[in-house]
């Protein structure tokens, strides 16, 4: 085998970020006794995406983003700042319960389980990401989950990957990183010396990216390994 292990991003690779985000948002809005709507969700979603994108380029840490986007949403939505703490708490609760899979995630892990050591490699809060993977029925097929809140660094910082390699006892050339983000998963992992597989279901054009592999479906990974 060319690799001993596979690192896999979680959101928009194993779990469907958009669907999970809407589920968590609706959960939070119901918990604070406010009606949810497509318009309010779009505002929330756009704020969160912008801040997470800025974090990829070092403008914020993930922990900072987790504080910033609920505040900006409450401010701009006009819901009332007295709801901020409750909304933030309830959204995180809902996020921990959200576990919609990306199509083919279960099939991919079942095909690789027992043949490779499998690790989740994700930004966010570790306890929430593990809970989501467990609810999705995926955690038991993973050897471990490396999440930024425990690792101490956020992807794409090479120190995230270096610490994940240290904990797994693996060398960079023994690991393939699979993920959807050009910045955090592909560029970050490549800078740490790992081969990369870009999961690109939307067929984005990035001729400068140069991943080791590029797939449009998770199922396309199985014959590669």
Tens digits of residue pLDDT in 145-179: 999 999 999 999 999 999 999 999 999 999 999 99
What does the pLDDT read at residue 57? Answer: 85
pTM, entire model: 0.94
CA distance 59 to 210: 25
Model confidence at 1, pLDDT cuts 50, 70, 90, reads low
Q: Give tens-digit pLDDT for 75-114.
A: 999 999 999 999 999 999 999 999 999 999 999 999 999 9
Model confidence at 56, pLDDT cuts 50, 70, 90, reads confident
Residue owning tokens 């097929």: 141
CA distance 194 to 208: 17
CA distance 9 to 188: 12
The CA distances from residue 151 to 22, 130, 212, in Å, are 27, 14, 25
Backbone angles phi, psi at 29, to 5 degrees: -65, -40
Asked if residues 147 and 125 have their Cβ atoms less than 8 Å apart, the reply is yes
Query: Is residue 58 scored above 90 in pLDDT?
Result: no
Token pair for residue 100? 């919609």
Residue 9, C-beta contacts closer than 8 angstroms, at least 6 positions apart:
120, 121, 122, 177, 178, 179, 180, 181, 184, 185, 199
Query: Is residue 28 scored above 70 in pLDDT?
Result: yes
For the chain, the average pLDDT equals: 96
* Residue of 15, 156, 9 whose CA lies nearest to 95: 15
């Amino acid at each position: 085998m060319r690799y001993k292990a596979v690192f896999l991003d979680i959101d928009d690779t194993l779990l469907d970020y958009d669907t999970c985000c809407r589920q968590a948002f609706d959960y939070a809005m119901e918990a604070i006794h406010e009606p949810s709507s497509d318009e309010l969700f779009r505002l929330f979603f756009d704020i969160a995406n912008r801040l997470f994108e800025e974090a990829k380029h070092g403008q914020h840490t993930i922990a900072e983003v987790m504080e910033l986007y609920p505040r900006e949403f409450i401010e701009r939505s006009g819901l009332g700042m007295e709801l901020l703490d409750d909304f933030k708490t309830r959204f995180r609760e809902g996020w921990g319960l959200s576990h919609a899979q990306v199509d083919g995630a279960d099939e991919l892990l079942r095909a690789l389980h027992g043949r490779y050591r499998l690790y989740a490699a994700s930004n966010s809060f570790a306890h929430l990401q593990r809970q989501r993977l467990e609810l999705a029925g995926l955690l038991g097929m993973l050897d471990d989950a490396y999440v930024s809140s425990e690792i101490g660094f956020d992807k794409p910082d090479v120190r995230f990957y270096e610490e994940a390699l240290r904990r797994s006892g693996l060398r960079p050339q023994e690991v393939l990183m699979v993920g959807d983000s050009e910045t955090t998963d592909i560029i970050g992992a490549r800078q740490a010396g790992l081969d990369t597989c870009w999961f690109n279901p939307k067929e984005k054009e990035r001729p400068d990216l140069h991943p080791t592999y590029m797939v449009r479906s998770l199922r396309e990974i199985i014959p590669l390994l």
